[in-house]
């Protein structure tokens, strides 16, 4: 039984994500309108374009309110995007520096609970998110020519190229903003 104080935001675990979101790499995303057939060389630019909108989301009233049980709050989604930028940047560097690396696992749900996403300072998160998006965008901006075809693999065996990895990253950032928090 959880004994949370009523004045503190809910940090209880949400059900783990079970959907295989790699389907958006072929079909796009009907929820947020993501088209995977965009020019991947614009990944950095498009990621940076989300920063102001995330800042607006984090300036709203009720940003720690979960819209329904089992769904993260806008603040939790922002923390997730901040942290996934770090994870994707590390994985992208592995793809660029090593031959067909297997990515270290990352448990996004454990991170949300362990880091108490819903109790973090939204102004700090806004600044950190902006910094992480820019840093990750810069690494995508530096990819050239044949590097877009370099391979990498998740621990579950899902294969990516740098190009498909860019689309997977961008969908994650844009989807949470467009669909989950309506930013």
- Catalogue all structural domains in the chain, each as residue range(s) with its CATH number: 39-180 (1.20.120.450)
What pTM was computed for the model? Answer: 0.91
pLDDT average, residue stretch 113-130: 96
Q: Are 72 and 116 in contact (CB under 8 A)?
A: no
Model confidence band, residue 169 (pLDDT cutoffs 50, 70, 90): very high
Average pLDDT, the chain: 93
pLDDT at residue 183, rounded to an integer: 66
pLDDT at residue 20, rounded to an integer: 85
Q: What is the DSSP letter of 33?
A: -
Task: Using CB atoms within 10 Å of the CB of residue 110, give its burial: 0 to 12 exposed, 13 to 18 middle, 19+ buried.
Answer: exposed
Closest CA to 26 of 168, 176, 172, 174: 168
Closest CA to 21 of 13, 10, 32, 11: 32
- In angstroms, the CA 43 to CA 32 distance is 17
Whether the per-residue pLDDT at 1 is higher than 90: the answer is no
Six token digits for residue 165: 């990895």
Whether the per-residue pLDDT at 2 is higher than 50: the answer is no
Q: Are 130 and 81 in contact (CB under 8 A)?
A: no
Q: How far apart are the first and last CA of the chain?
A: 34
What counts of helices (H) and strands (E) characterise the chain?
Answer: 7, 2
CA angle 129, 61, 124 (to 5 degrees): 25
- In angstroms, the CA 69 to CA 130 distance is 28
Whether the per-residue pLDDT at 36 is higher than 60: the answer is yes
Q: What is the DSSP letter of 18?
A: -
Six token digits for residue 56: 């607006």
> Per residue in 71-81, pLDDT tens?
999 999 999 99
């Amino acid at each position: 039984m959880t004994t949370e104080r009523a004045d503190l935001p809910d940090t209880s675990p949400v059900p783990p994500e079970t959907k295989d979101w790699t389907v958006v790499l072929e079909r796009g995303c009907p929820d947020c309108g993501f088209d995977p057939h965009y020019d991947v060389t614009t990944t950095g630019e498009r990621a940076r374009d989300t920063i102001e909108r995330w800042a607006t989301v984090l300036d709203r009233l009720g940003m720690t309110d979960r819209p329904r049980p089992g769904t993260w709050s806008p603040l939790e989604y922002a923390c997730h995007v901040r942290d996934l930028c770090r994870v994707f940047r590390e994985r992208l560097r592995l793809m660029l520096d090593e031959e067909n690396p297997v990515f270290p696992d990352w448990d996004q749900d454990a991170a949300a609970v362990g880091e108490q996403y819903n109790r973090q300072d939204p102004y700090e998160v806004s600044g950190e998110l902006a910094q992480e998006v820019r840093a990750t965008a810069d690494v995508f901006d530096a990819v050239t020519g044949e590097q877009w075809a370099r391979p990498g693999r998740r621990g579950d065996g899902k294969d990516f190229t740098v190009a498909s990895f860019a689309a997977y990253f961008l969908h994650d950032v844009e989807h949470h903003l467009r669909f989950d928090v309506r930013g």
